[in-house]
Amino acid sequence: MRSRIFSGLAVLAAIALTGPVLAVGQAQAAPAAGTVEASAPAGFVGMAPTRVLDTRNSYWNASGVDGPLSPGENYRAQLLDVAGRAHGQGVPVVPSDATAVVVNVTVADATDNGYLTLSADPNAPGVTPATSSINFAPRQTVANLVTVAITPGTVPAINVYNNGSYTHVVLDVVGYYRPGATDKYGAVTPTRLLDSRADGHRIEQGGVRSVQVAKPELGTADARAVILNVTATDGTGDTFLTVYPSGGQRPEWGSNLNVKPGGTVPNQVVVPVGQDGKVDVFNHIGSQNVVVDIVGFYGPSGQGLFSALKVPVRLADTRPNLYEGRPSQQLAPFSTLQVPTGAGAPAGALAAEVNVTATGPSESGHFTVFPSNTTRPDTSNLNFVPRQTVSNSVTTGLNGDSFSVYNHAGWTHAIADLTGYFTVAK
């Protein structure tokens, strides 16, 4: 059977209750300087989704044993192609000098509320991670894009910590960072490229819509891959969406987001660009409205190199800390929270990779994340419904070493975990 390491469970099953409680309007700083370890700056390499783990099938995990992750389990996921592993090959999907990997993680068939934390190294037995990568509810299928530092070695691997319940986990690698890679990050003012609610052209069952993402007016003319926030809403089926380069074959493995009938689900997507400058969005079941916002790109004209934090850092948490006597600091409707990156990222960083979570909202709404003290874009990064805990990866520019989280409606708590940052290539 697979090798297991178990850690103690957090007080709350949904999210680790750690990190500072924030004053209204501005977050407290990250840990003191010198406590954060990050990988060397690196360029990006995009790839077709490649499955490296699926606990629902014994062929598709490193030990050849199927079964869900247990509460408190730390699972060491080797980054090996499951197709090759099924035939006894176990081919690594990223090179040995990769510094970080971009993974679409999907949770399915959980028995209770919980969360996963993805990181470079296993947690010591009895230690609960201070951050979360994806949150889930019973019997929910939910996905999130996560960037994870890799410890260099012959067989690259990442650690998956499961808190809260038995759950199946699927990992699809969609790209990686390595020194010397020529595609660099380019900042883009978040811009809406598609909203089928506005144009009346829903994506029907088995249908595809093409979206132009390489656009000179956005500065993405030479983009080789793009960072999108894709939202599925008002659908009629229990479906999934897959985003892939236009003109190419739809990937055999991997979906980008899963959504129930009538639900609204966002997910960040990193996808190579087709030769015609477009990407395709496929809908599996039912009739679905889709919203696509571009938030960044990778290409020769980009300026940023990425450094991944070996251990993610909690930058913001508005929930009360009962142990320290700090009160609740919920975000009010139409309010904005400024979040400094503190010691989590160096001064003058170009952009940040952040996992943003909403928990306990009083009504349906959304967050918009953007550089502080700039004009708020007409886009969204995270959608939520009452009493839900939901997270989404966000790539955001920084201004004054901080970003802002705007709350569109209702009262809700907000949490932000830094997973890495971009600095200007020298």
pLDDT recorded at residue 144: 95
Average pLDDT, the chain: 86
Question: 41 with 163, same domain?
Answer: yes
The segment with the largest mean pLDDT, out of 250-259, 267-276, 317-326, is 267-276
Percent of all residues in the chain with a pLDDT value above 90, rounded to a whole number = 69
In a domain, 312, yes or no: no
Output the domain CATH number for residue 387: 2.60.120
Question: 368 with 274, same domain?
Answer: no
Contact 416, 351 (CB under 8 A): no
Question: 145 with 28, same domain?
Answer: yes
pLDDT recorded at residue 61: 64
107 or 8: which carries more pLDDT confidence? 107
Number of structural domains the chain divides into: 3
Contact 174, 271 (CB under 8 A): yes
Among the listed residues 231, 415, 419, 201, the one whose alpha carbon sits nearest the alpha carbon of residue 310: 419
In a domain, 308, yes or no: no
Concatenated DSSP letters for 306-346? EEEEEEEEEEEE-S-BTTTTBPP-PBPTT-EEEEE-GGGS-
What six digits make up the tokens of 416? 């932000």
- Confidence bin at 89 (pLDDT 50/70/90): low
In a domain, 313, yes or no: no
- Confidence bin at 91 (pLDDT 50/70/90): confident
Task: Give the separation between CA 102 and CA 116, rounded to whole angstroms.
Answer: 15
In a domain, 170, yes or no: yes
Question: 38 with 171, same domain?
Answer: yes
Contact 163, 81 (CB under 8 A): no
Question: 36 with 103, same domain?
Answer: yes
- Confidence bin at 354 (pLDDT 50/70/90): very high
pLDDT in tens, 217-230: 999 999 999 999 99
Task: Give the separation between CA 224 and CA 310, rounded to whole angstroms.
Answer: 27
Question: 173 with 195, same domain?
Answer: no
Question: 169 with 248, same domain?
Answer: no
pLDDT recorded at residue 15: 36
Confidence check: pLDDT of 12 > 60? no
Contact 202, 136 (CB under 8 A): no
Token pair 């506005």 is at which residue? Answer: 198
* Structural domain for 276, as ranges: 184-299
Put residue 400 in one of left, alpha, beta given phi > 0 → left and psi -120 to 50 → alpha. left
- Confidence bin at 254 (pLDDT 50/70/90): confident
Give the strand pairing for 365-371 and 336-340. Answer: unpaired
- Confidence bin at 78 (pLDDT 50/70/90): confident
Last residue of a domain, one of 148, 178, 208: 178
- Confidence bin at 426 (pLDDT 50/70/90): confident
Percent of all residues in the chain with a pLDDT value above 70, rounded to a whole number = 86
Question: 152 with 284, same domain?
Answer: no
3-state SS assignment for residue 89: coil
